[in-house]
Structure 1
Amino acid sequence: MGYASRRKDTKIAPYHRRNAGEDRMRAVIGLVAVAAFAAHAQTPPAAFPARNVPATFFGTVVDDPYRDLEDVKNPDVMAWAKSHADFARSQLDSLPGYQGLRSRVAELDESATASVGTVRLDGKGTLFFTRRGARDNTLKLYQRDTKGGETLLVDPDDWQKETGKPHAINYFAPSFDGQLVAFGISAVGSEEASIYVMETASRKRIGEPIDRAQYPAISWRPDSRSFFYWRQQKLEPGMPATEKYQNGRSWLHVVGTPASADVMVAGPEVTPRMQVRRTDFVFVFAPPGSRFAVAVVSNGVQREAAMYSAPLASVGKPDTPWARICDFADKVTWSAVHGDDIYLLTYRDSTRFSILRTRLSAPDLAKAATIVPASERVLVTLQAAKDGLYIEARDGAVKRLMRRAWGAQAALDVRLPLEGSASLLATRQDVDGAIVGLSAWTRAREIHAVNRAGKVTNTGLQPLGAFDAPTGLVTTEVKVKSHDGAMVPLSIIHRADVKLDGTNPTLLYGYGSYGFSEDPNYQAMRLAWLERGGVYAVANVRGSSVYGYDWYKAGYKTTKPNTWKDFIACAEYLIAQNYTTSARLGILGGSAGGILVGRAMTERPDLFAAVVPLVGVLDAIRAETTANGVPNIPEFGTVTKEDEFRALLAMSSYHNVKDATAYPAVMLIHGVNDVRVDYWHSSKMAARLLAASSSSKPILLNLDYEAGHGIGSTKQQRQRQVADYYAFLLWQTGHPEFQRH
């Protein structure tokens, strides 16, 4: 599972054996916690006592003065973290402009009539989708028939009423005939989903839930009464947390029978005809309209996958005759099935990708036909429908939609009503057309249906709200020269009346991992920043794939420094062009984007006024000791290999903090229930900065005890988080409404 949430708890290893000195340290922490809680909320909590736990890798000694904060179950550590969370909350709540900003963020967010998440189709063309209404706190699952009638199927609030805890729908899949829907639901942002099955006509739940089903890998069989799913292994007492995502398997479940009767169909030591490591994930799919099943083998984070095919009727029986379609070395990153054919998106011949076709009955990649050749555009993804193959393609700052009709000789552009970002939301191999999301930097996403004739119709699933198409905003697309001459795309959004005089509070955002690119998107809450004269800038640094696979690999493991150096170049550009100054520039990055903003700050602390790492990866050296750290080794590296250790040390913000350095203001935001990035990344970084920074600027640890990585957060949690980081940045960039006098 990637640190990011776009693709598809860690219980920390037990506190190591203590000696008398450690017992004294625990007593000190206890006194610190008591003192902090006794103090007024505006009094900064005491520092956490440093106790270095050095480690040596390939002759290099790596210090770790706040290793004790990893023991998040230790009562003293918990008390210290809570005291800092309370202090951060008091600091934000007492800012003069905070309450007004938070009210405005809520008003903007709730102005939208609806916000749609995932969309799926059944074999009759019925739409299934998650949507959050204007007054809803969570996404709910609905069904819309071909005549437009809608039915509410799953409301997470029902689970909250039963348990007292907020719940969220993680994923769902309708059966072929639409009479059943399987869905995963989890509590308090944990992503620890259990699968439920519901009759769509009666809303009656069938059978018992299936736990340990974190991934959205449900695939119904044509009988509409059974499905494949992936399940992680059960951690037995004494097993380390790093085993959590290893040795998982795919299963076949028949609706109405207990999970104990399910048949194991793929996984390590299950399918001898596949090459599957203990750390691999194997997902089995039954594509509509095909006689074959497809198994996808992934390591969890890399885009490349190995794939196998077998007759669908043979899956679940002894010695299923799986035939290899492609291996990791074939550089295939996506696929779609139509009948007996599989279409493969690959960068084998071009880093901008091409599409190949081979047969599922006798796959042979060496003889595969090129269906869509490489071009200047970057092919992003593909989906099959009854009328053709639909393809997303990135063309500079625009993402377009193409279709290659079955039997046609070329893929042609679908004419769309908006030039910005086109994203494929749903197709189905036995249904004509596609469901597509269209958005831009200054216009919210609307959901359209494309029919076989190429006609595009607004579905009305997500009507524009009062603030979803604002006027008076300007978007500028530029390319910024980085440290080595690479040209980095930078998108800049602001009010048309903003003067380029260097006085504007500016927020620079970036990510730069897993090949994820920042496509044009709109969020009404962003207006709360822009209305106050703020500039909002988004950098597509290396590590994204905005220019294809080579752009991604130029910000990966040993080349990772390019990501924050590109980001620094974009910051310098904004200053040079008089958008802002270093005293008015803040940066924001989430999850793996924590590497980006953390290292930009530690390399150039003079360049920024404020930094917000959001659920950030900040201690890259210790990351692989966590449950989700192991699956991320292919993306970032391991300390067991010298070149990768040195790359991890270079990208670890925590280990690059220097004593007696004037660091900018920092607010570290984290959900305590995060299963992707353990929250001790933020607490360790906070402790280190508090000890090292020679400036008087605040270091805040902002923790949410009912949130995780952001997946499953309620609307109110999202609103508060956005208000928190906007207020913090406006405070630290000198906006007059947010200054204490």
Structure 2
Amino acid sequence: MKYFSYKVAVLLAAAAVAASCSNMKQIKLLPYPETERGDVVDNYFGTEVPDPYRWLEDDNSEATAAWVAAENAVTQDYLSQIPFRGAIRERLTELWNYPKEGAPAKHGDWWYYSCNDGLQNQSVIWRTKEPGAPGEVFLDPNTLSDDGTVALAAMSFSKDGRWFAYSAAASGSDWVEIRVMDTADKSLTADRINWVKFSGARWAPDSKGFYYSAYDAPKKSAYSSKNEFQKVYYHELGTPQSADKLVYEDKAHPLRYFSAVPSEDGKWLFIVGSEGTSGSEILYKKVSEPKFRTLLPGFKADYMPVDCKDDQLYYVTNEDASNYALMKIDLNRPSRIETVIPEDGKSLLDGVGTAGGYLFASYLEDAQSRIRQYDYDGRLMRTVELPAIGTVGGFDGEKEDAELYYTLTNYTSPATVYKYDIASGASTLYKAPEVKFDPAQFTTEQVFFTSKDGTEVPMFITYRKGLKRDGKNPCLLYAYGGFQINLTPGFTPTTILFVEQGGIYCEANLRGGSEYGEAWHKAGMLENKQNVFDDFIAAAEYLVAEKYTSSDKLAIRGGSNGGLLVGACEVQRPDLYAVCFPAVGVMDMLRYHKFTIGWGWAVEYGSSDNEEQFSYIYKYSPLHNIKEGVKYPATLVTTADHDDRVVPAHSFKFAAAMQHAQAGDAPILIRIESKAGHGAGKPTSKRIDEATDQYAFLFQNIGVPYKVVKK
């Protein structure tokens, strides 16, 4: 069957905004591949839904490969004509090229930390006998592949520090291979574990082996076949994977995740189960017992183990506590449950770490980090005085620790490492990055805007000091809005590139995340998902109304669930934006659950297999709400050939449908990366390439030429 052909007439179109701006080069757009529209129609409870691009779901077909090549050719031809593309790449490379060092953590006799000299594709694991002293390379992931496309997805040390297990992911896939190193001489053992997904190695307390979760090998495509029946295994060092002990499986529930958590004293073993991205249960048993019992039943609330001490399991939960609380349960008398740290009515308990015999509770107050130190009885020892406002990570360690190291970052400052004295509560600077820009030139403010239903929603806005709010500024609005994911201040070189050009970078904390607890999450899931899109649209309207920008200078961006967000808002309000960047998005909401682990998102979205849920999903599904004859904004869809989380067929079908429907002159392009996945572990070189293309496309299509930064 013939699936696509080039249009016979060579129609050369210029992007509307470029054509209207005399000082911008007019870019010639090659004809799109004329993608074959099939006759597939699905019937959902009496509603017939055409799916003309179903054939693009076959990631192994020659026709799909040819379509990908043709679309990439059109996209790259367009991008190659943008005259300032090279200048953007040069500046991004400069901004990216600074040493990045992570917080050190002690394992055995060594302190381990990550380090990137600036442009290395993958950060290198170093170690030293004493923080601050010269170190040595322990593991360089850049040597695991020729092009930097093999990345570390997870790492763990045995309790005695002798063994190091790492999970290696190739080309951005969620599939990983677990390997083990002997820290004494840095040699690689013969241990090799395959078909692992969403799991690393969890070491047993005796350091003789580890637990992991795996699937059976896929029978068809490794990158699109549905994954079912995750199982928990125990691997003893020095034995083949075929000899691994099956620890737990659930033959009655194929669509659940499971992971093992052993107690530090080796007495108890827990299984954390989940039916999706929220809601869990905890099973338990003594290691000497044959069967697991239910400790905390699922799946209406979340339960996250923190520590097991004196036969008491400490865990964080949102059961009867929307902002989460820390509880403990007596494993010998499980009816006895006590509150250790009660719910805070104003702040979200985002997690709890342990170190030096204390509990470190990480809170979010209006999406900004706060740390409180408690003892195990829940007595507040102190609120940690942080050196700056931003996002904090790293308050976790071993009970023997007298000190720990943590990182702090925000929109204009890369991760800075501080040393924390557990006894005194004093923080001292350990490592500050040296960057190629002046952070003092920029500022971040937090505003609150009103959504469609009257809900107040926060947003961070970053820009160059002295900004004039005249409605003429380039603006990039980013958000996510789902899966309890919180957006907090964080640094990327791309933000600096944009704001030093006079741009305004904005991040909105939409409902669907949990910045304000589980109630905030639930207000943006299932039948309430439209609230998330309304929040995003309201953020854009606020930025225009307050004259930060105007619709012809406004771009929106989001990835994964955020790609769904951008796609839905683009088709609902195409008049509101000049440029749209839906990245690795969930665009076909009627079929997402049929690929890889998409079924795990049904607790968040609902499923088209359910009549009531189909009715509201269909109303916002980006793919199914594209309308012919509409002038859509300039759009650059991005995806990757090895994305086995949100399979690229979502983006393929969305781009094809948008190109078919577009009534305006703005380009609808798709950029399909090779040897890359959903985003995690993407090498620096590919990150710079992709960002270069996105920002070149952005400036071109808002009619604002990029200006070379004076050095």
TM, length-normalised to structure 2: 0.92
Deviations 1:492-534 (Å, cap 9, x if unpaired)? Answer: 1110122111111100001001011110112233111111110
Is 1:250 the counterpart of 2:226? The answer is no
Q: 1:391 to 1:299 in 2, by over 3 A?
A: same
Equivalent residue number for residue 155 of structure 1: 140
8 A contact 2:176–2:194 mirrored in 1: yes
Deviations 1:207-254 (Å, cap 9, x if unpaired)? Answer: 14211122233111122221111111223469995542x112111111
Q: 1:186 to 1:531 in 2, by over 3 A?
A: same
Cα distance between partner residues in 2 of 1:358 and 1:405: 17
Is 1:305 the counterpart of 2:292? The answer is no
Equivalent residue number for residue 382 of structure 2: 412
Cα distance between partner residues in 1 of 2:647 and 2:224: 12
Cα distance between partner residues in 2 of 1:210 and 1:722: 34
Cα distance between partner residues in 1 of 2:286 and 2:581: 51
8 A contact 1:243–1:627 mirrored in 2: yes
Q: What one-letter code is carried by the residue in structure 1 that aligns with 2:337? A: K
Is 1:494 the counterpart of 2:463? The answer is yes
Q: 1:113 to 1:240 in 2, by over 3 A?
A: closer
1:213 aligned counterpart, secondary structure: strand
Give runs of aligned pairs for residues 62-211 of structure 1, distance below 5 A. Answer: 62-110=49-97, 112-116=98-102, 121-122=106-107, 126-146=110-130, 148-161=133-146, 166-211=149-194
Q: What one-letter code is carried by the residue in structure 2 that aligns with 1:170? A: A
8 A contact 2:447–2:460 mirrored in 1: yes
Choose from 348, 357, 375 the match for 1:378.
348
Q: 1:320 to 1:458 in 2, by over 3 A?
A: farther
Cα distance between partner residues in 2 of 1:28 and 1:398: 50
Cα distance between partner residues in 2 of 1:491 and 1:306: 35
Equivalent residue number for residue 433 of structure 2: 464
Q: 1:482 to 1:514 in 2, by over 3 A?
A: same
8 A contact 2:469–2:548 mirrored in 1: yes
Q: 1:87 to 1:173 in 2, by over 3 A?
A: same
Choose from 371, 375, 393 the match for 1:401.
371
1:662 aligned counterpart, secondary structure: coil
8 A contact 1:120–1:128 mirrored in 2: yes
Cα distance between partner residues in 1 of 2:372 and 2:616: 39
8 A contact 1:356–1:368 mirrored in 2: yes
Equivalent residue number for residue 336 of structure 1: 306
Choose from 405, 414, 419 the match for 1:444.
414
Q: 1:721 to 1:662 in 2, by over 3 A?
A: same
Shift of 1:548: 1.0
Q: 1:220 to 1:47 in 2, by over 3 A?
A: same
Cα distance between partner residues in 2 of 1:295 and 1:123: 27
Q: What one-letter code is carried by the residue in structure 1 that aligns with 2:204? A: R
Q: 1:224 to 1:665 in 2, by over 3 A?
A: same
Residues 728-737 or 553-562, more deviating: 728-737
Residues 689-698 or 72-81, more deviating: 72-81
8 A contact 1:403–1:413 mirrored in 2: yes
Cα distance between partner residues in 2 of 1:56 and 1:486: 37
Gap runs ≥5 in structure 2: 11-26
Is 1:267 the counterpart of 2:249? The answer is yes
Cα distance between partner residues in 2 of 1:285 and 1:369: 22
Cα distance between partner residues in 2 of 1:95 and 1:425: 45
Give runs of aligned pairs for residues 504-583 of structure 1, distance below 5 A. Answer: 504-583=473-552
Shift of 1:255: 1.0
8 A contact 1:415–1:454 mirrored in 2: no
Is 1:284 the counterpart of 2:260? The answer is yes
Shift of 1:155: 1.7
Is 1:351 the counterpart of 2:322? The answer is yes
Shift of 1:323: 3.7
2:246 aligned counterpart, secondary structure: strand
Equivalent residue number for residue 14 of structure 2: none
2:506 aligned counterpart, secondary structure: strand
Q: What one-letter code is carried by the residue in structure 1 that aligns with 2:49? A: V
Q: What one-letter code is carried by the residue in structure 1 that aligns with 2:315? A: L
Shift of 1:129: 3.6
Cα distance between partner residues in 2 of 1:209 and 1:573: 53
1:328 aligned counterpart, secondary structure: coil
Q: What one-letter code is carried by the residue in structure 2 that aligns with 1:71? A: D
Q: What one-letter code is carried by the residue in structure 2 that aligns with 1:563? A: V
Shift of 1:73: 2.1
Equivalent residue number for residue 362 of structure 2: 392
Q: 1:268 to 1:468 in 2, by over 3 A?
A: farther
Shift of 1:721: 1.4
Q: 1:371 to 1:28 in 2, by over 3 A?
A: closer
Q: What one-letter code is carried by the residue in structure 2 that aligns with 1:343? A: Y
Cα distance between partner residues in 2 of 1:57 and 1:308: 37
Cα distance between partner residues in 1 of 2:7 and 2:163: 52
Q: What one-letter code is carried by the residue in structure 2 that aligns with 1:207? A: A
Cα distance between partner residues in 1 of 2:48 and 2:267: 57
8 A contact 1:670–1:703 mirrored in 2: yes
1:605 aligned counterpart, secondary structure: coil
Residues 70-79 or 566-575, more deviating: 70-79
Shift of 1:406: 3.1
Deviations 1:382-420 (Å, cap 9, x if unpaired)? Answer: 122232111111112421011112345236311111222
Q: What one-letter code is carried by the residue in structure 2 that aligns with 1:74? A: S
Gap runs ≥5 in structure 1: 1-25, 270-275
8 A contact 1:140–1:169 mirrored in 2: no
Deviations 1:402-447 (Å, cap 9, x if unpaired)? Answer: 1112345236311111222223463234534544221122222223
Equivalent residue number for residue 13 of structure 1: none
Q: 1:441 to 1:165 in 2, by over 3 A?
A: closer
Shift of 1:201: 2.2
Cα distance between partner residues in 1 of 2:82 and 2:224: 40
Cα distance between partner residues in 1 of 2:282 and 2:399: 19
Is 1:232 the counterpart of 2:203? The answer is no
Equivalent residue number for residue 635 of structure 1: 604
Equivalent residue number for residue 363 of structure 1: 334
Q: What one-letter code is carried by the residue in structure 2 that aligns with 1:152? A: V
1:727 aligned counterpart, secondary structure: helix
Deviations 1:64-116 (Å, cap 9, x if unpaired)? Answer: 12112112322122112211112212212220111001110111011x21154
Equivalent residue number for residue 705 of structure 1: 674
1:95 aligned counterpart, secondary structure: coil
Deviations 1:41-72 (Å, cap 9, x if unpaired)? Answer: 96233321212311111121212121121123
Give runs of aligned pairs for residues 602-641 of structure 1, distance below 5 A. Answer: 602-641=571-610
Deviations 1:573-629 (Å, cap 9, x if unpaired)? Answer: 000011111011000000110111111111110000010011111111111121121
Q: What one-letter code is carried by the residue in structure 2 that aligns with 1:358? A: I
Q: 1:454 to 1:50 in 2, by over 3 A?
A: farther
Shift of 1:289: 4.2
Q: 1:308 to 1:72 in 2, by over 3 A?
A: closer
Cα distance between partner residues in 2 of 1:240 and 1:48: 23
Cα distance between partner residues in 2 of 1:728 and 1:601: 17
Percent of aligned positions that are identical: 27
TM, length-normalised to structure 1: 0.88
8 A contact 1:516–1:544 mirrored in 2: yes
Cα distance between partner residues in 2 of 1:591 and 1:383: 28
Q: 1:236 to 1:101 in 2, by over 3 A?
A: closer
Cα distance between partner residues in 1 of 2:680 and 2:7: 31
Equivalent residue number for residue 196 of structure 2: 213
Cα distance between partner residues in 2 of 1:408 and 1:71: 54
Shift of 1:372: 3.0
Q: 1:205 to 1:34 in 2, by over 3 A?
A: farther
Q: 1:216 to 1:140 in 2, by over 3 A?
A: farther
Equivalent residue number for residue 16 of structure 2: none
8 A contact 1:101–1:723 mirrored in 2: yes
